Amino acid sequence: MSVLVRLIKSSVGKKYLMAITGIGLFIFVIGHVVGNLQVFLGPEAINRYGHFLQTTPEILWPARIGLLAFVLIHIGAGIALAIENRQARAQQYEVKRIVDASKASQTMLWSGCVIFSFVAFHLAHYTLMTVHPEFRNLHDAEGRHDIYRMLVFGFQNAAVSVFYIISIGLLCWHLSHGVGAMFQSLGLKNEAYAKRIDCFAAIAAVVIFLGYVSIPISVMAGVIQ
């Protein structure tokens, strides 16, 4: 146990924690956008999907608890590493590291803070429905929670849609560096595969961004109504 504690407290251990939780969060981000894109199939598809999740607590609650734990561990490890890096800046090698770092890597902590704020608002808006309590009264003809109309009403607010698009942009900016960093932290990124991994990270970030922002843009454009 003491060996495990020492590993977690070390910089290497924190990077492992960030990589492992990052993988879990990356998978969730992909799964979430795939689920949300069902809105383009119409009310029946997205409402059926939402009803399945809401009526399957043995899946929903472990997923929520696990996701929350991953987010807290990821943020905690990231802050701890940022503090360690700041304390090490007096060393000469740090100067070169900062110069060589990508813009995404330099802003990881700040973009992470904005993303966390967005996630908190997004949960309050669509999951807890404290921003718009009237969303709780939206039901379709089958008596299911009408997620389709909730998304339409929510994204018809231009301020909400713009904030959502900007936040998703920062999330994907975060992913463009984070995905490559995950492989590097786990020792899977070498010279032979570095460019391919970075290319995959960039493509994945762009695809995820387009998938998420297509929904508010389509609502504001009247494609989804």
Tokens for 100, please give them.
């060589």
Q: Average of pLDDT values for 129-138? A: 82
Per residue in 25-81, pLDDT tens?
A: 999 999 999 999 999 999 999 999 999 988 898 888 888 888 889 888 888 888 888
* Residue-averaged pLDDT of the chain: 83
Q: Summarize pLDDT for 166-200 with one digit per residue, the tens.
A: 989 988 988 888 888 888 888 777 777 888 888 99
pLDDT of the residue at 2: 65
Task: Please provide residue 128's backbone torsions phi and psi, each rounded to the nearest 5 degrees.
Answer: -80, -25
Cβ–Cβ < 8 Å for 201, 177: yes
As a whole number of angstroms, the distance between CA 30 and CA 97 comes to: 31
